[in-house]
Amino acid sequence: MVDAVLYFEGESGSRFRILRAFKNRFGAVNELGVFAMSEKGLKEVPNPSAIFLSSHAQPTPGSAVMVTREGTRPLLVEVQALVDASALPNPRRVTLGLEQNRLAMLLAVLHRHGGAAVYDQDVFVNVVGGIRVQETAADLPVLLAVLSSFRNRALPDKLVAFGEVGLSGEIRPVPNGEERLREAATHGFLHAIVPRANAPRKPKIGELRIIAVDRLDDALAATSEI
């Protein structure tokens, strides 16, 4: 008889540790705890979003920020992509923190509805900080990061995005959209590209301007208009 199964995760070179529940007989299993290893033991990290965002001196090609949810808390995480010409007959599709099969599907959508052909390119995608993103809200930021690396053109500074991408190129809503936007506004982001169904009635939350899109090509065009 097992009441709870907990996984204690963390990279050997990092001071941060993640406590994740896989089974809990008397409560939810989708919660996540983030702790920092100090001289006096583990200490809770009250603002996990801050540790999953890399600090760049200037916008970098292949980097996009998304708002994911772990349990009941929204988290800002950085998605990095590297697209490079492949010397192999079958170009590689490598993911860390994301599902590899979904990346292959998203690249096909990008080709068909975004006009970017990466079938002869190696594509590497990584979620910074060792977080595993298992929800479809990562679809749009992944494609923005891939296209940014492919074109070697950085996305606008202080931009956040989330949304599910369908096979026909539509951008579908994800749960708790307004809560994700409030988290982005709290951390000083200025622009958000989101599914139209997730956009609040007001065009801004604080200083965060919300750009609602219906299709992938609309989202790609929005990045060049900011």
* pTM listed for this prediction: 0.83
37-84 tens-digit pLDDT: 888 888 888 777 766 676 676 789 999 999 998 766 788 999 999 999
Residue 57 and residue 55: Cα distance in Å, rounded?
7
pLDDT > 70? residue 5 = yes
Q: Between the CA of residue 145 and those of 1, 89, 120, 126, what are the distances in Å? A: 45, 24, 17, 10
* Burial profile 106-116: b = 16 or more Cβ within 10 angstroms, e = fewer: bbebbeebbeb
What domains sit in the chain, N to C, each tagged with a CATH number? Answer: 4-46 (no CATH), 50-225 (3.30.230.10)
Residue 207 and residue 49: Cα distance in Å, rounded?
19
132-161 tens-digit pLDDT: 888 999 999 999 999 999 999 999 999 999
To 10 degrees, what angle do helices 139-151 and 100-114 make?
A: 60
